[in-house]
Structure 1
Amino acid sequence: KKMKKSMNFYAPISLLVLGLAFGLFSCHTDTPEGEPCYEEPNPLYFAITDLSFNNLSPTKEDSYYDLDYVHIIMHDGKKVEDLKYVYAGQQFDTFFSANKGYIFVSDFLGDIASSEEQSCKHIPNENTINYMNRPFYLHLSIDDIDTLMWKQDGLYHNGQKAPVDKKTPFIIRKKAD
């Protein structure tokens, strides 16, 4: 009789422990090889400034460039469809003159910039493989096209590394007339 009582007591406890163990282990899912470790897009931001780092688009109406025209074409002819402009004050500290106005943002460019360090298996994503170390072209106007390139150590503008700070987006410096 004593054996039956202990079995009636320990059987449900054993099943409970077993169920918890299976439950915990089934929650763990491995990230597929090559999948980035982040789940949300990691956008790339850049501002267009003069040589003194003053934003050339303080307002949409008072912009040095037609913000609706600005676009990027990759080396293979692909247009960056998600390039948009946003007011910098929503993302960055407006204490810096580069942040006083509109900046550009793209999840697609951010995906290229998500290098192998951000990949769970240290394998670059498809956009990084296709577009890193290859030129892409920033069309500011019909006559003003700059060459950009994403390399392992950052964004390059016309062959020079684009300045960046924790409190600013990447800076594309232009001579304003």
Structure 2
Amino acid sequence: MASVSENTIRSSVEATEAFITWYYDALNKGRPVASGYVNGNKTYQTANHAPADIVINGLLVNTPEEWDALLEKQRIPNSVLEANAAKSDSPLVQYHVESWDTHVINADYTFAAPEDLIKKYSKGAGVRMMLLVTASGTVTFGLDKESPSKKQHFHDTFTLVPNWEVIARAGSKATRRYIITSHNYRAYP
């Protein structure tokens, strides 16, 4: 296996931190995450990239929008007390990431990359990476966060590819410099 540069390792960690922060912040605030997948990305669509593979608790989810709809169902209050809490911005579903890891799958990923970006960012520049990201922690449902029946462990595995549309914008510090091409989520007691 070819060695990965120190710069690539540092860049992969920074990219993963930004992605994890964006993704779980969106989940915790009830915002949609569909825009973080390759499905709606014009560059990848033009290059005929396959839609993202999304598997949730062993079941195939066809689109990121379908995943957003499932996430929204988690946020439906089960009682009047929870309904009042939802109105006051108390999150009824809370993801707590306890650990994450990242591995560079391909340090020279160029699929669908505009030619100018291939020239601008050489191999090892820490931009043209395909990443495998894992995150695990706990998710709590409802207001009684201490109840064992309301708490589950979760494990997410993502494959991320460069978001060429964001990277092409000079000076962009957007958190979605990488987007999801594969996602496998599992929750368990």
TM-score class, shorter-chain normalisation, is under 0.3
Larger CA Rg, structure 1 vs 2: 1
Q: Which has the higher helix share?
A: 2
Q: Which has the higher strand share?
A: 2
